[in-house]
Amino acid sequence: MEADIQKTVGYLNQYFSADARKVADSLDSLNMALDDVLKHANVQLTQFHKEKKYDEAETMLKVSKLVSGLQNRISDVANQLCDDETEDPEDSDDVDEQELKKLPNYANYVVDETVPHTLYEDFKYKKAVGFSLYGKRYPAKDWQDVLVKTCNLLAEMDKEKFIYFIDDPTMKGSKVCYFSKDSVPKFNKKLDKVDVYVWVNLSANGKRNLIRKLLKKFDIRLSDYTIYLRADYTPLHQGSVNEYLSNDEDSTNIGKFVREELRKLENRLPQLTSNELLALQSKQWCKENLNLDFPLLRPVDENKDVSQQTDIGTYSCYWRELFKFGGQIFLVTSQWHDRNREPFAKWLKSL
């Protein structure tokens, strides 16, 4: 079994790196769900002891140990699938921004800094400019600044948790300890108000994953935290593929067009009416009017991870970006082709 797992991991990394990253993200989400299992098991264990049900308590303890062991195994596989524990030079905050600005089409890589991004997105080759927690925005110089400032905010809520993280096995990677009392120059940074260092020599996605773990430990919904970007250099890297879209150039263009126009609609007055929103959630209406195979909008259940709501059957059919219309949170279908451009533009014009 172990040999089969290693062989599969190696094959995915070699031939399907984008899929490997998606699998690693899903495993990470599974581990966070298992954190809840452990938390509930500990509550039940305490209750069994109070009621002097020692046999049940012993069984519950065994279950907790099994779940903990499973978490460690899942983390090992996820880390092998997607090595985000070492900073990628191409993904580094230290990449010379002045050199990038010399590119003749530099402006093409600048993105709207007001657009929020979720922690389910792929941030490789993307530069951060800030984040928000509970609706309050905080500026940041780069990804390292995002991680450190997030840790400082959370430490203000509960310093003792960060002390505990030093020995928490779920807060250790396969190669590094994310939190430590020891300084490692250039690789970790000390937090402001607690004697703990956080490991910062991580890729953008590695920092994202650590932030996700932290929010889960503080019982903060991932939807209460968003990232803001200033640039996306993905097109500069040959062979890179936007995770949301197919390789087809027309599909890339129409996908970008759709997202940009829907972002404009978010801030437009008047807002979409309730009837318009219902139409966009109707498979029949979207097929007849936009030539789409899926409803354009899918309501988000905020009690579930977004990553669990993007698929229909075994296929990923919705982007992980969140859109807000009429006070509701939605996902938008990712299944766009150039044939959809004209009907979509016609619908926009009719609003």
* Residue 108 · residue 123 · CB < 8 Å: no
* Secondary-structure class of domain 89-234 per CATH: mainly alpha
Token pair recorded at residue 227: 């990232």
Nearest partner of 240 among 21, 86, 67, 72, judged by Cα:
21
Cβ–Cβ contacts within 10 Å for residue 274, how many? 11
Q: Give the contacts of 233 (CB within 8 A, at least 6 positions apart).
A: 100, 109, 125, 126, 127
Token pair recorded at residue 183: 């300084």
Q: What confidence score (pLDDT) does residue 239 get? A: 40
Place of tokens 């921004």: 97
State how far the Cα of 290 lies from the Cα of 250, in Å rounded to an integer.
16
* Residue 213 · residue 171 · CB < 8 Å: yes
Q: What confidence score (pLDDT) does residue 109 get? A: 78
Q: What is the three-state SS of 218-265?
A: CCCCHHHEEEEEEEECHHHCCCCCCCCCCCCHHHHHHHHHHHHHHHHH
Query: Domain locations in the chain?
Result: 2-81, 89-234, 249-350
Better-predicted residue by pLDDT, 290 or 260? 290
What tens digit of pLDDT does each residue of 217-251 get? 998 988 889 999 998 887 766 443 333 333 333 44
pTM: 0.59
* Residue 221 · residue 100 · CB < 8 Å: no
Lowest mean per-residue pLDDT among 75-89, 128-142, 303-317: 75-89
* Residue 108 · residue 235 · CB < 8 Å: yes
What tens digit of pLDDT does each residue of 161-173 get? 999 999 988 788 7
How far, rounded to the nearest angstrom, does the alpha carbon of residue 257 sit from its chain's CA centroid? 22
H or E segment at 10?
helix 2-15
Q: What confidence score (pLDDT) does residue 166 get? A: 93
Whether residue 92 has pLDDT greater than 60? no
Task: Indicate the DSSP class of residue 162.
Answer: H
State how far the Cα of 324 lies from the Cα of 179, in Å rounded to an integer.
36
What tens digit of pLDDT does each residue of 302-317 get? 788 787 888 887 678 8
Q: What confidence score (pLDDT) does residue 176 get? A: 82
Distances (CA, A) of 50 to 46, 53, 64: 6, 8, 18
State how far the Cα of 91 lies from the Cα of 143, in Å rounded to an integer.
10
Q: Which is it for strands 225-232 and 116-117: parallel, antiparallel or unpaired?
A: antiparallel
Cβ burial of 64 (10 Å; 0-12, 13-18, 19+) is: middle
> What is the rounded average pLDDT of the residues 144-170?
94
Better-predicted residue by pLDDT, 129 or 266? 129
To the nearest whole number, what is the mean pLDDT of the chain?
83
Q: What confidence score (pLDDT) does residue 308 get? A: 82
* Residue 148 · residue 202 · CB < 8 Å: no
Better-predicted residue by pLDDT, 54 or 307? 54
Give residue 102's pLDDT band: very low, low, confident or very high (50, 70, 90): low
